[in-house]
A and B are shown apart, each in its own frame.
Chain A
Amino acid sequence: MNTEARRKERLDRGIKVRSEGIYALMSWRELSYLTLPRLVLIIGLLLLPLVMPSMYWQRVISIVCIYALLAISFDFLAHFLGLVSLGGAFFIGVGGYMTAIMNTSFGWPPLLTVPMATVIGAAICTFLLLPCLPLRGVYFAIVTLMYPLALMRIIEALNILGGTDGIMGIDSFANQWIEQYLVILMVLFFLFGLRRLVNTDLGLVMRAVKDNDQAVRASGMSITFYKAVAVFIASGMGCLAGACLVHIYMWAGISLFALDFSILPIAATVIGGGGTLVGPVLGCLILVPISELLRDLGTLRIVFYSLILMAFIVFRSEGIMVYGQRKYHQFQRWVKV
């Protein structure tokens, strides 16, 4: 038996350490080490609609971005606030119905209703979720899972807002390009905006709420206030996604509260790597096209991605992006113990 013990040692690459401070400006190599991954993502996303072969696949890009918005908001709430919200469909539904009502009742154009729906919808979601904010862990997860289901049944039972038929005759965006670049730019805006936000003072408090809420409380800060701010931001993203979705499909119905919108973003976050904010976008870029390709298989694709989700969460819970970041920033070697 080989008794010689080895262990894997991970060390930061020299270039990572060199490019951390202001000294990164000294050479092109360090500069490109920092900017290249970001530029690849930005330019890649911006070029996507141009290289897509058909209208159908351009539409898929919009859907990818809508799921990406939801997934980023899930990741933000789960890994920076410690609030695991299983109710992505709730945000989508509220935003979608808001924009549908404003568009059909008042006849406002999409470019006005989408931002309005985002802000008003976020306010409504935050208000409705306010009583649940003190809840922890499993309890918050269950309550958010129930919200979209309850709203769906209430709309069905009261037969309001178009009942089971939904609201039809909603305007679409002026043209394809506006539609796609709007959602792509929004994804990029929220992605980089949130990456900034979590490193500001506000973000610091939010992360503290996740790690030790009693300590935050002891420092004289209201946990509920910070949670509410974060939920407002996250639900705003969800409502924006919902509003765009409604204008793309020109229809709002109770399927906006369907479980797809709760499950797929979570799957994308788990696969892409939670806590990175970029990971969820990556996960959506992988999952949504796959699920479009598998559309012919009907509900088998749901089976397929719930199994992927299960496998990832059980066996590879770190996700692609965390793995990629580690490879990019560090090298590893075997050392004798």
Chain B
Amino acid sequence: MDILIYGTINSVALALTALGFALVYGISRLPNFAHGALYVVSGFITWSFVRALELPYLLSIILAMMITGIIGALIYQFVLIRVRGMAISEIIASYAIGVAILEGFRWGGFKGMTYTLPVFVEGSFTVRGIPVDYHRVLVVVIGVAVVAFLWLFTHYTRVGLALRGMAQDERASLMLGIDSDRMAVVAMAIGSMLAGLAAVLLLPLGNIVVEAGYNVLILAIAVCIVGGLGSWMGSVMAAFLIGFAQILTVVYLGSHYQMVVALLAIIITLILRPSGLFGRQKELEERV
């Protein structure tokens, strides 16, 4: 029973962290390796609003998400747009930005136990003798809501449909008058906002540390690769797969193995089925 409950919570948390990465890659074929850095940035901005400026919590969360979205859009507009289409340069450039941001934080003395965010709702309840706190329930609820919202957004709004058009066939959507660069900026902004949302939801459960940036990046990549790069629903399924696998290893093997599961999942999936379990990409593009 506790495996079921905590597995679900862990899976939703994973899906939240990975959605932004999956969205950006799905739409503009851009592996955004600065994802983890944006996650930490958002947590830090929220922290400074709440603790240093003492703004209301909800307001500072919204502001932090907006700022993270703008940072993502700026990174795309001024740096990544120039290396668009060169996959390796994209990886190296975005990774360099991410490392620069994260190590900059570390240099700024941003480490240790002192940086925490308050949980949204205090307290907990028990289900069959297993304590579950309200915040984790809230994470699951918001996670499901975000997935539903994204689905509606991409199926029923003009911008959302344009984004999906880009994801399916960039040239055809260019012919239909969709500005691919602007859409990519929008996608990057939304992806960064999702990273920010994940950060403000998940960081209250622990401390804001620089290492979280790297771990989040690895987990997001793991989820996206297992689910298939570019397939959003696949990512959600993969999040559940990896989430439960992690909880099972924690219960039966020990918490050291949590990261090993994610890393091995990446390697094995890439070797056996590079397009992921639910991916729809062409075989020839990814392997010889």
Residues of A within 8 A of B (CB): 78, 84, 86, 131-132, 134-139, 141-143, 146-147, 149-150, 153-154, 156-157, 213-214, 217, 223-224, 259, 263, 266, 270, 297-300, 302-303, 306-307, 309-310, 313-315, 317
A137 and B87: CB pair below 8 A? Answer: yes
A134 and B288: CB pair below 8 A? Answer: yes
Chain A binding surface SS class: helix
Query: Is B171 part of the binding interface, using a Cβ–Cβ cutoff of 8 Å?
Result: no
B99 and A143: CB pair below 8 A? Answer: no
CB distance from B238 to the nearest CB of A (A): 15
Chain B: interface size category? 35 or more
Query: Is B89 part of the binding interface, using a Cβ–Cβ cutoff of 8 Å?
Result: yes
Residue pairs across A and B with CB atoms within 8 Å: the count is 121
User: Once bound together, how far apart are the Cα atoms of A132 and B103, in whole Å?
Assistant: 31
A137-B88 contact, Cβ under 8 Å, with A143-B271, A157-B260, A303-B107: yes
Chain A residues in 8 Å Cβ range of B270: 132, 135, 139, 142-143
Chain A residues in 8 Å Cβ range of B82: 314-315
B96 and A141: CB pair below 8 A? Answer: no
User: Once bound together, how far apart are the Cα atoms of A269 and B212, in whole Å?
Assistant: 29
Query: Is B259 part of the binding interface, using a Cβ–Cβ cutoff of 8 Å?
Result: yes
CB distance from A210 to the nearest CB of B (A): 12
Q: Which of A136, A150, A156 contacts B285 (CB 8 A)?
A: A136
* Least CB separation from A304: chain B residue: B100
A157-B256 contact, Cβ under 8 Å, with A134-B287, A142-B270, A143-B270: yes
A135-B287 contact, Cβ under 8 Å, with A146-B267, A302-B103: yes
* Least CB separation from A147: chain B residue: B267
User: Chain A CB within 10 Å — which of B87, B99, B106 has the most?
Assistant: B99
* 6 shortest interchain CB distances as A-B pairs: A157-B256, A150-B263, A306-B96, A310-B96, A302-B103, A306-B100
* Least CB separation from A300: chain B residue: B107
User: Once bound together, how far apart are the Cα atoms of A96 and B194, in whole Å?
Assistant: 40
Chain B 226-267 interface 0/1 with A at a Cβ cutoff of 8 Å (1 = within): 000000000000000000000000000010110110011011
Q: Which of A141, A147, A259 contacts B91 (CB 8 A)?
A: A141
A150 and B257: CB pair below 8 A? Answer: no
* Least CB separation from A141: chain B residue: B91
User: Once bound together, how far apart are the Cα atoms of A214 and B287, in whole Å?
Assistant: 11
Chain A residues in 8 Å Cβ range of B107: 297-300, 303
A314-B93 contact, Cβ under 8 Å, with A143-B267, A146-B263: yes
A150-B267 contact, Cβ under 8 Å, with A134-B288, A135-B274, A300-B107: yes
Query: Is B144 part of the binding interface, using a Cβ–Cβ cutoff of 8 Å?
Result: no
A150 and B260: CB pair below 8 A? Answer: yes
Q: In residues 137-177 of chain B, which contact A (Cβ within 8 Å)?
A: none
CB distance from B164 to the nearest CB of A (A): 22
A153 and B288: CB pair below 8 A? Answer: no
Query: Is B131 part of the binding interface, using a Cβ–Cβ cutoff of 8 Å?
Result: no
Chain A residues in 8 Å Cβ range of B87: 137-138, 141
